A and B are shown apart, each in its own frame.
Chain A
Amino acid sequence: MKYGGWLIAGVLLAALLVTPQLPFSNNKILTILIQLFIVAAMASSWNILAGFAGQVNLGHAAFFGLGALTTRLMWLDGYPLALSFVAGGLVAALFALAIGFPALRLRGIYFAIGTLALAEALNETVSNILPGNSALPGPQLVSYELPSRYYLALGVVLVVVAVAYWLTQARLGLGMMSVRENEAAAQAIGINAFRHKLWAFIISAFLAGITGSAFAYFHVSYYYQHTFTPLWTFDAVLVTFVGGVGTVAGPILGAIFFVVIRDVLATNLTNFHQVIFGVLFILVVLILPGGFLELWDRLRVRMTNSK
């Protein structure tokens, strides 16, 4: 990353850190930002497996749901928040480890529909076993305030982005990318393709799990099943592609765009943001495979050339 990039990231981070303390900050702004963090973290964690390691996982919601469920149940049962939070990520990661062995032997399309079916099976199971909704009990409700939720969600997104950035520099991440580009060639130079895919799967699942934990801590009341619905996967896929798949900044950019469109348009036209996003997504897949980041690069190249 160039100095300019670090500077922008630093200023942005400082601004986000002080936001809850600012006089004009209110619950509405904080809520929108928390939702932005959750979407960005989901997209960015999905991008680690799909963008870096090249495995399109259509069951990402399962890990988000498992993280949320674990944290919510433990936290409301009286365990410390920190412990419940980490447990959420670990349960999701363990689930990835368990299903990784059969699932990652599936290739391409089979992996995509296999994970989709697996997540749906989990979704069905949860809606059968826990059909009700989870509301905060009295004491937690009385002490509820947004800033702590805000900082937790911000922390999660920072961790996810840091891991994604680290992967772009580390041997492990470069190995993943080589598997994505050409599995046979990667094997030939001594990269264990399966192990790299499994690591990507576990890391991606852990990060989605703690994103779910942040969700569970944030919401006053929600249906258990809600966190397992395929919508969470779909949003992550759309956001990542629109922003730029396989990059660190892409999912974040996409998430900002997504939340802005949703919160500007959702008030007047319910669900219409989904139509806009769907069309945009198709256009990106067809004519701009690199997403917004590619557009930005093209514009920059054109500008430097015209000078």
Chain B
Amino acid sequence: MDKQSPILELKHITKRFGNITANEDVSLEVYQGEILALLGENGSGKTTLMNAIAGIYYPEEGQIFVNGKEVSINSPKDAYDLGIGMIHQHFKLIDVLSAAENIVLGLKDKRRYDLKAAGAKIREICDKYGFDVDPNQKIYNMSVSQKQTVEIVKVLFRGADILILDEPTAVLTPQETEKLFNVLRNMKQDGKSIIIITHKLNEVLEISDRVAILRKGRYICDIKTSEADTQQLTDAMVGHAVTLNIERKVPVDPKDKIIVKNLTVRDSDGVEKLKNINFTARTGEILGIAGISGNGQKELLESIAGLQKIETGSILFVNEDGTEEELVGMDPKKITDMGITLSFVPEDRLGMGLVGNMDLADNMMLRSFRHGHGLFTDRKAPYELAEQVVKELEVNTPSIRTAVRKLSGGNVQKVLVGREIAAAPTVLMTAYAVRGLDINSSYIIYDLVNKQKARGVAVIYVGEDLDVLLELCDRILVLCDGQVSGELDGREADKQQVGLMMTRLGGAEHE
């Protein structure tokens, strides 16, 4: 790259949320016609930093320069006016409106309101970069990838020169990702600058010209992609080489505990979320479930927990004495009433596993409130349990009476996992148990899961970090598009193999 002046420059940006510092003293430059990858772990402050450029947050300290001039970006509109457009991870589209209506939304021009003209311009943009959008289609009829396309067209329609994409591939199939990357390359050719937020190294290497790395809210370094290698990027991202050293003992006397046969689940729109799933979870074993998020993991765990309406298939629970119980058609209360202790750490902690506005003790009570005498809840036991969890898992909280939503992500997760494990389950299911947690907390969670395994619990561990899955799990089930793409031995599987299976049904021929 020539020594040109940057089109966008951040100087000493600091953004705090209360006592938490999301970004500290970050400085960054973006040049015209380049694709910059912003790399960092979950929670490293990538999205917050970009939101500050896009006008969603206003940074407490620091300056932003566009084309060499200092600017103050107070709203997304200011950002658009400066030619900056961001495609958020959660699409900002309005369901009941059409693509064209969404695209012209918020547009400031003096011309008459004319959806037809807008439609023509949209088609023109689509032809130029190779998109496929029907301007008149309503958003609620669109697939995820179509919605993303609408988002990108929206930004281009506004004449953005700097595009920010927040983890755009997280929701895409490999083919869709490839298509997206082609479009991004076309835009680069056209002189646009693109910032792509990601934590996937292969994508960084494939698409970007330069990588900037954030760690714990701080700017670490930036490297030309052509000079970077995986090891170097990983080191910069996590701070030390990834040698996880998670303890993994050989399972003791595994017995079948949960047998899933031909399980098929549809969502409320009638889309098949799980197709003919078969597998078995065994006692004293950790069964890892790998897959790109949104490929049926949530539905699978919720089916076992009795929270999903099941189309066909059976889920059997094997008792100590070898007899089997059908779990299909049960709800969580019936499952508990049958004497089965099934612990479940769902993905959406404050939306499903916990009640954000209740304190720690009351959240402990979620599992035990039926235990009290007669009409009343027993409030003493949950309080003691909360104290115990706080002590054993080193939860950082002002008090037991603090509302859970006021805790940080890692502490919320400890509260949830602590409660679920305290029930002394026979089956433990966790979804993305370490998402958003720092390294230390993650290890505490691995350790807890391993302890449950040693107790003879059948553990089902849904994860996104392949390195962890490969070091923690005894067996790995790979999901792709709602189907079982393959099942591997955790000790023998390699990362490429799992990666392939995640993106392509069946992956490489194996077993």
Same complex: no
